[in-house]
Structure 1
Amino acid sequence: MRELVIGAAQLGAINKDDSRESVVTRMLALLDQAALRGCDLVVFPELALTTFFPRWYMEDQAEVDTWFEREMPGPATQPLFDFCREHGIAISFGYAELTPEGHHFNTSILTDKTGRIVGKYRKIHLPGHVEFDTERDFQHLEKRYFEPGDLGFGVWRNLGAVMGMCICNDRRWPETWRMMGLQGVELVALGYNTPSVNSQNRTEGERERLFHSELSIQAGAYQNATWAVAVAKAGVEDGFPLMAGSIIVDPNGFVVARAETNGDELISHRCDLDACQFGKRTIFDFARHRRIEHYGLITSRTGAEAPPEHDDA
């Protein structure tokens, strides 16, 4: 039996005035709890070091760039990597990445138990819009501040498992999960910052948002026979609510651990990686059952196109 104790380290609200150092202190407190529980890997949310700044419309690129990390680890985040090495715990967390070439990405990384970065993912499915939208209750400007990820959907062998990463809106797209599933993924680490209300549909509140989030994660885990760890940044940031609902899902799609608060909270579960094998050998044995000759539209067409109408007269 291959077992890993996985921790999902939900973070509560991070406001505009909160420093990176103060956030890292909170992350270290959750890692202390994880060490006491014997966690092998701890997953933190998307954009774990700052507020969800894409809700703010900014025209000054210098101001935008203050939310981005130019190196990882940097002075503020080095204590996280030191903790990994000292306690033998791997971590995954999200941040805004500014590359030496001047590219801006919504990024997550994965370390081993020595604090060495072994995997990097850049968010591919960016939601939202580019310019200020007067029709929205609040702004969601990821398409303004980030470029679509350029690394694809990678997986990495780490801690004896095949691990992958995705970020927030990626969870809603079945292609995300299937790309990792086709590489034998056994554990997907997923961080998110999801508003509690849909900015374009006020009737869609937290209840519906949580349902759709869990539906996507459970389906992705089941249909690819993988564990999934989905971790929120939650609470009210500068007056804007983010939903919680951090969960750990098993390879059959069942939720095995769930956060109970909207604040800093660690949930954990002992995950049997071999539990992935039944699904991978039976109903989701891709080599036996997939029929790629019929899937051409998935990569040849981006938008949906209905067939032409016929005149039945």
Structure 2
Amino acid sequence: MREIVIGGAQMGPIQKADTREEVVDRMIALLQQAKGAGCDLVVFPELCLTTFFPRWYMEDQAEVDQWFEREMPNAATAPLFAAAREAQIAISFGYAELTPEGRHFNTSILTDRDGNIVGKYRKTHLPGHSEFDHDRAFQHLEKRYFEPGDTGFQVWRNMDAIMGMCICNDRRWPETYRVMGLQGVELVMLGYNTPSVNSQDSVEGLEKRLYHSELSMTSAAYQNATWVVGVAKAGDEDGHPLMGGSMIVDPNGYVMARAETEGDELIVHACDMDACSFGKSTIFDFARHRRIEHYGLICSQTGVVLPD
């Protein structure tokens, strides 16, 4: 048995006025809970050092850049890395990355149990729009503030398992998981900041949004025989609600642990990486069953082309 005790560290709202240091203190508190629960790995949400700033329309690049991290770890996050290293707990968390070349990415990192960064992923499927949209109930300007990621969907050997990452909207695209599945992924970690309401469809309520989030993760876990750990930032951020629904899903698509609140909350499950083996060697034995000669459209076009 290759068991990894995983903690999903859901975070409650982060207000616009909250400092990085205040947020890191909360992350360390969750990490200490995880240590008490015997966790080997803790997964935090997308953009978990700040409020979800893409909801705010900004024209001044200096104002935008204040939400980005120029290095990792940095002065604000060093205590988190130190706490994780002392506890011998690997961590994964998301933040806004500003590279030395001036590029802007929505990024997640993965460490080993000694606090060394062993993996970095930059969000591929950016939702939303790039200019102010008067027809939306609120803005979702990820396409304005971020570039599409340039890392692709890599996997890493860490803690005797094959691990991959994706972020928020990536979870809705089956290609995300299949690319990692073709590399033998056994654990997909993803953080998200998902509004509780649809800015373009007010009829779609929280229940439906939570269902679609769960559907995307459970179906992907099953279809790729992998553990999926999805962790939210949730609650009311300056009048803008984010949904929770953090969960740990097993390789058969069953939810093993689920958050019950929209605040700071740790969910824990002992995940056996060997549980991936049956699905990968039977119904989802890709080498035996995939028929790539029929999949050409997936990589040859983006939008829909209707038949004549």
Shorter chain as denominator, the TM-score bin is over 0.9
2:138 is paired with a residue whose SS is coil
Partner of 2:56: 56
Instruction: Give me the TM-score of the superposition, normalised by structure 2.
Output: 1.00
Q: Please state if 1:159 is matched with 2:152.
A: no
- Shift of residue 265 of structure 1? 0.2
Q: Please state if 1:207 is matched with 2:210.
A: no
Partner of 2:279: 279
Distance 2:283 2:306 in 1: 30
2:136 is paired with a residue whose SS is coil
Partner of 1:16: 16
**CA offsets, 1:161-205, max 9 Å, x none?**
000000000000000000000000000000000000000000011
Q: Percent identity?
A: 77
- Shift of residue 227 of structure 1? 0.2
1:96-107 equivalences in 2 (<5 Å): 96-107=96-107
What is the CA RMSD across the aligned residues, in angstroms?
A: 0.4
1:93 is paired with a residue whose SS is strand
**CA offsets, 1:126-158, max 9 Å, x none?**
000000000000000000000000000000000
| Alignment-mate amino acid for residue 3 of structure 1 | E
Partner of 1:95: 95
Partner of 1:251: 251
| Alignment-mate amino acid for residue 119 of structure 1 | G
Partner of 1:311: none
- Shift of residue 8 of structure 1? 0.1
Q: Please state if 1:144 is matched with 2:144.
A: yes
Instruction: Give me the TM-score of the superposition, normalised by structure 1.
Output: 0.98
Partner of 1:292: 292
- Shift of residue 306 of structure 1? 1.4
- Shift of residue 85 of structure 1? 1.4
Structure 1 stretches of 5 or more lacking a match? 309-313
Distance 1:160 1:84 in 2: 18
- Shift of residue 305 of structure 1? 1.1
**CA offsets, 1:110-134, max 9 Å, x none?**
0000000000000000000000000
How many residues are aligned here?
308
Distance 1:234 1:271 in 2: 24
